[in-house]
Amino acid sequence: MTDKSIGTRVLRRLWTMALGERSWVSRTGDFRTRERYGLVGRPNYAYGMLRAADTARYFGHDQVTIVEFGVASGAGLINMSDLAGLISQETGVSFKIYGFDTGAGLPELRGPKDHPEIWNAGDFTMEDRATLERRLAGRATIIWGDIEQTIGPFVRELNPQVPVGFVSVDVDIYSATISALKLFDGDVLNYLPAVSMYFDDVGFFFANHWAGELAAINEFNEAHALRKIDRDRSLPSDRRPGGPRSWYGHMYACHLLDHPRRQTSMPRSQLTINAHARFMTENALF
Ligand SMILES: C[S@@+](CC[C@H](N)C(=O)[O-])C[C@H]1O[C@@H](n2cnc3c(N)ncnc32)[C@H](O)[C@@H]1O
């Protein structure tokens, strides 16, 4: 029964009258529609990965690199690996997934910017490394060690055929975030022109622009003339009410203003205002 058949339309009408639109979408919707209705687990990862795939496709790539800084027991990385197949089916873009972690929890805190009022060295020690690696085998790679040491070699190995498209920063503390953001110090072609980002630790009572992940973002922006991390200004777009909303304020984008694709327009025929709106929608640019 196709979505256009009379039977489906009648069923849909009766179903939504009785149980609501969300229930219908939850039962029948494709991945993109379920994401719009807030029906996918970890909506921040679903959104960031879909955004990475759409941006990759817009710029002519069929593979993209995504990174989770801070793995702990691996719930986020497993979720990313599960989502990857669904989003590849939807977009045709495949993912290379990397996680970074000490494996031994938070390193020594280095002062007030690391929020010692909340965290202690050793918090979030990995519980079962062998089982996690088995569950991720062939789907994601964990780079063990302090990011301060592991990030440089990783950046040197980045591949412009598989540009970075989504980054989750969930390392809690300022000093580790400073190290993680060195990811963006490589050759510009190793990144999509804008990289979706999720920052986990920017929304609690003690969070402020002079400590933690927020301070690291500010200092990154001060140190880079043409690479800037800003809030994701597209959200919530047309996401439907009823789903979780708290993640919107955690989504950012790293804009690579020095990227060649941000210097001049691509040749194409001129568009009317309506055709331009269609172009934006079809390419998921809103
Ligand atoms: C809150 S946990 C991550 C939770 C995980 N993202 C999830 O969704 O389940 C924070 C993690 O960051 C890691 N971390 C913090 N600083 C680090 C550093 N400098 N190098 C490597 N890992 C670090 C810790 O080991 C810890 O496992």
pLDDT of 83 reads: 98
Among 168, 155, 174, CA closest to 218: 174
The atom number, within ligand 1, closest to the CA of 148 reads 19
Q: Are 145 and 80 in contact (CB under 8 A)?
A: no
> Ligand 1: distance of its center to the CA of 172 in Å?
7
Among 85, 41, 94, 35, CA closest to 64: 94
Q: In the block, which residue shows the tokens 């510009």?
A: 188
CATH code reported for the domain at 41-282: 3.40.50.150
pLDDT of 3 reads: 56
**Average pLDDT in the chain:** 96
pLDDT tens-digit series, residues 52-87: 999 999 999 999 999 999 999 999 999 999 999 999
Mutate to test the pocket of ligand 1, among 171, 177, 179 (most ligand atoms within 8 A of CB): 171
The atom number, within ligand 1, closest to the CA of 76 reads 8
pLDDT tens-digit series, residues 231-274: 999 999 999 989 999 999 999 999 999 999 999 999 999 999 99
pLDDT tens-digit series, residues 138-196: 999 999 999 999 999 999 999 999 999 999 999 999 999 999 999 999 999 999 999 99
Determine phi and psi for 192, rounding to 5 degrees. Answer: -65, 155
- Structure-block tokens of residue 262: 């941000």
Residue ranges per structural domain of the chain: 1-39, 41-282
Percent of the chain clearing pLDDT 70 (strictly above): 99
Among 212, 189, 210, CA closest to 261: 189
pLDDT grade, residue 4 (50/70/90)?
confident
Please state the rounded mean pLDDT for residues 5-23: 91
> Ligand 1: distance of its center to the CA of 123 in Å?
9
Residues within a 6 A CB radius of ligand 1: 68, 70-72, 75-76, 100-102, 105-107, 124, 146-148, 170-173, 176, 179
pLDDT grade, residue 1 (50/70/90)?
very low
Reply yes or no on whether the pLDDT at 218 is more than 70: yes
Please state the rounded mean pLDDT for residues 124-140: 95
The atom number, within ligand 1, closest to the CA of 105 reads 25
Q: Are 108 and 122 in contact (CB under 8 A)?
A: no
Mutate to test the pocket of ligand 1, among 120, 170, 175, 182 (most ligand atoms within 8 A of CB): 170
Among 238, 263, 134, CA closest to 188: 263
pLDDT tens-digit series, residues 94-124: 999 999 999 999 999 999 999 999 999 999 9
Q: If phi over 0 gives left and psi between -120 and 50 gives alpha, with beta otherwise, what is residue 256? A: beta
Burial class, 282, CB count within 10 angstroms (exposed 0-12 / middle 13-18 / buried 19+): exposed
The atom number, within ligand 1, closest to the CA of 75 reads 9
In the three-class reduction of DSSP (H, G, I as helix; E, B as strand; rest coil), residue 96 is classed as strand
